Amino acid sequence: MSSKIDLTFLKQLFPKNGNFLKSIFIIALILLGSISFYKTTSFFTVQADEMNGYFQDKDSIIEKTVFAYQSDKKEIKQLKEQFEILSLLKKPHLVTAKKYASFNYSFSIFLTLFLTITAILGFIIVKIGWDNVTSFYLKTAFLISFFFSSIFGILPKVLGNQDNIKNNLTKYNFYNGLQLDVYSLINDNKGYLERNTTQSLDSLNLEILAITQNIKENQDLYFDVYIDRVPKEIKPF
């Protein structure tokens, strides 16, 4: 007994005019660019996490020293609370800077890549003349490459990558510096606790108050967006 397989559906999927293949080509190029960008960003995020690990190792050593100090004095309790608050406040800044840095590296790499591809394809098209180019795939590759190079050139400016990286790292280092101040005070490097006089404890409390004031005045997070940096005109040449 013989049976025939109906293959008419293949004719519907692959029409003779090639529109399906052209659509697949367009989708494939866009997906290739998008997935490659995602993978590259993920790679740089992993590298940033590895670097972050070194910061955490350093912080853990200081943290152990701070909380290992045992004292019933209210000043020491305040300093430990401040240290913990600063740890919580500085983490978002490092994470935000890490994210922006990962995107920034990816934007730079893909901008260079697609600008090069656009320049090569553009040279070929200019040589032949746009109206004389009969290859759908050449024109499509050029337009998609130009699209990606425009996106990767515009987004870093609109998202303020450089500013946000700089501002968040500056804030992270600021909080880190305050933690080192707390660490120094708990270790009694200035001898306030050793002298244990009213005057020395007043001086210690003034420094604690100054740290609290710095915390209150610096609780902003930076993820600025600059819509005005979107260019009004985009020209391929």
- Classify residue 1: in a domain, yes or no: no
State the pLDDT at residue 22.
85
DSSP H helices, 69-160, are: 74-128, 136-158
Please report the pLDDT score of residue 228 as a whole number. 74
With respect to residue 7, please indicate whether it lies within any of the assigned structural domains. no
- The span from the first CA to the last CA of the chain, in angstroms, equals 66
In a domain, 9, yes or no: no
How many distinct structural domains can be found in the chain? 1
Domain that holds residue 180: 17-229
Looking at residue 1, its pLDDT comes to: 46
Read off the tokens for 188. 């009694």
pLDDT along the chain (237 residues), means of 10: 49 58 88 90 84 79 88 91 93 89 90 93 91 90 92 89 90 93 92 89 93 88 74 59
User: Is residue 190 in a domain?
Assistant: yes
Whether 12 is covered by a domain: the verdict is no
Q: pLDDT digits over 185-197, tens only? A: 999 889 888 898 8
Residue pair 224/218 in contact by the 8 Å Cβ criterion: no
**CA-derived radius of gyration, the chain:** 29
Please state, in angstroms and as integers, the Cα–Cα distance from residue 15 to each residue in 18, 134, 144, following that order.
6, 20, 24
**Residue at 176 is within a domain:** yes
Q: How far is residue 157's CA from residue 43's CA, in Å, rounded to a whole number?
A: 22
In a domain, 111, yes or no: yes
Query: What is the pTM for the complete model shown?
Result: 0.76
User: What does residue 229 show for φ and ψ, rounded to 5 degrees?
Assistant: -85, 0
Rounded CA separation 200/215 (Å): 23
State residue 69's pLDDT score. 86
Burial of 181 (0-12, 13-18, 19+ CB in 10 A): buried
Query: Residue 207: inside a domain, yes or no?
Result: yes
Residue 7's pLDDT is: 46
